[in-house]
């Protein structure tokens, strides 16, 4: 009765006030927080950003995502002796090793990346003898013979998969495989998938520069991802605005050898045993961090011209190349 007895204007003011209170309560109930945390995983710094209902739940979800990353590392690391990949490497030239479906499928995709890049991408490159050193101590070129011998155990065509037995066999003694080239991109994709299944509406899994994002920031804006210019410190080449997407960068500007005034990248051509030349960094962005990672690694070896030709097959992916002379190609 109170509302009906109020003057006409006050009646509507009361209704508006009640409506605003209800709206405020609804917005408060739906309020979200953005939580960011780092962790050492796969020998690198990972950064998790999640949009969640409160800090407690956000940190619980990040803890679970970290555990998922550790699970993946315990499957695919070639450095941990107890992993399935280490078992595959120990049995090179001896016998096939049965592995989990996840490991088998990742290896199968890696061979697809090798074929599509004409061998520029190759997970067996970890068998290279250490003729190149990228810690600043190298002052002389290795001999041609040493380089030739270094690639003797490299060759993706000698990785034999048996889909019936779900096994991996390396044909030659001394061969090794490793996922340093796509492992972090794969982890970023899996982290995004994992957190989404937990109900996290938005976030970024940044696996040391290879990242996967989804949703948006608390203000409704897309995520802003900066692409660095290695020739101009603190200068961004581009700010990517993405919601559902992934970014991966391969580059030679942090690890390299400088001999007689020439810089040699740590990314080696699997066919020749020589460092890649022509490009200082390759950034690829599109739906999958794993695939972007495979493309960026391949293109560092292929060079800009062949790299652009390769990317013509994949319209969902875009690129930013920076040449050894600092030219930006996009």
| DSSP letters spanning 96-140 | -EE--HHHHHHHHHHHHHHHHTTTSS-GGGGG--S----SS---S
| Domains with residue ranges and CATH for the chain | 33-78+181-329 (3.10.520.10), 84-170 (1.10.3980.10)
Residues 183-241 have pLDDT tens digits of 999 999 999 999 999 999 999 999 999 999 999 999 999 999 999 998 987 889 999 99
Here the tokens at position 20 are 């605003």
Kind and range of the H or E run holding 33: strand 33-41
24: left (phi over 0), alpha (psi -120 to 50) or beta: alpha
Q: Establish whether 297 is an annotated binding residue.
A: yes
Predicted model pTM: 0.88
Q: Which residue's structure tokens are 């007895």?
A: 5
Provide CB contacts within 8 A for 208, sequence distance 6+: 42, 44, 45, 46, 184
Encoded tokens for 150: 């270094």
Which residue matches tokens 């409506």?
19
Alpha-carbon distance of 307 to 312, in angstroms, equals: 9
Cβ atoms within 10 Å of 65's Cβ, excluding its own: 26
Residues of the chain with pLDDT under 50: 1-29
CA pseudo-torsion sign 9, 15, 17, 20: negative
Buried b / exposed e over 209-219, threshold 16 CB at 10 Å, is bbbbbbbbbee
- Supply 65's token pair: 């995502």
Map residue 209 onto helix, strand or coil: coil
Q: What pLDDT shows up at residue 31?
A: 58
The tokens of 4 are what?
A: 């009906």
Q: Which of 232, 182, 228, 192 minimizes the C-alpha distance to 212?
A: 192
């Amino acid at each position: 009765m109170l509302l009906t007895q109020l003057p006409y204007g006050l009646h509507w003011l009361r209704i508006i006030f009640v409506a605003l209170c209800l709206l405020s309560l609804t917005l408060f109930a739906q309020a979200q927080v953005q939580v960011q945390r780092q962790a050492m995983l796969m020998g690198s710094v990972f950064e998790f950003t999640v949009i969640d209902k409160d800090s407690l739940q956000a940190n619980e979800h990040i803890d679970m995502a970290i555990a998922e990353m550790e699970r993946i590392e315990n499957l695919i690391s070639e450095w941990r002796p107890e992993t399935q990949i280490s078992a595959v490497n120990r049995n090179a030239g001896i016998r096939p090793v049965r592995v989990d479906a996840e490991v088998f499928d990742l290896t199968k995709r890696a061979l697809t990346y090798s074929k599509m890049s004409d061998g520029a991408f190759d997970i067996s490159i970890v068998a290279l003898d250490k003729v190149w050193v990228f810690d600043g101590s190298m002052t002389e070129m290795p001999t041609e013979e040493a380089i030739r011998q270094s690639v003797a155990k490299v060759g993706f065509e000698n990785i034999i998969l048996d889909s019936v037995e779900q096994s991996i066999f390396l044909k030659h003694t001394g061969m090794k495989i490793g996922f340093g080239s796509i492992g972090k991109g794969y982890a970023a994709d899996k982290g995004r998938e994992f957190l989404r299944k937990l109900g996290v509406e938005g976030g970024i899994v940044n696996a040391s520069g290879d990242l996967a994002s989804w949703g948006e920031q608390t203000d409704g804006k897309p995520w802003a991802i900066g692409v660095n210019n290695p020739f101009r410190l603190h200068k961004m080449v581009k700010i990517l605005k993405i919601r559902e997407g992934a970014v991966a960068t391969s580059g030679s500007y942090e690890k390299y050898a400088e001999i007689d005034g020439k810089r040699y990248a740590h990314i080696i051509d699997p066919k020749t045993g020589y460092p890649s030349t022509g490009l200082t960094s390759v950034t690829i962005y599109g739906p999958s961090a794993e695939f972007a990672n495979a493309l960026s690694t391949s293109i560092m070896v292929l060079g800009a011209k062949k790299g652009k030709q390769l990317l013509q097959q994949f319209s969902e992916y875009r690129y930013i190349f920076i040449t050894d002379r600092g030219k930006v190609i996009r």
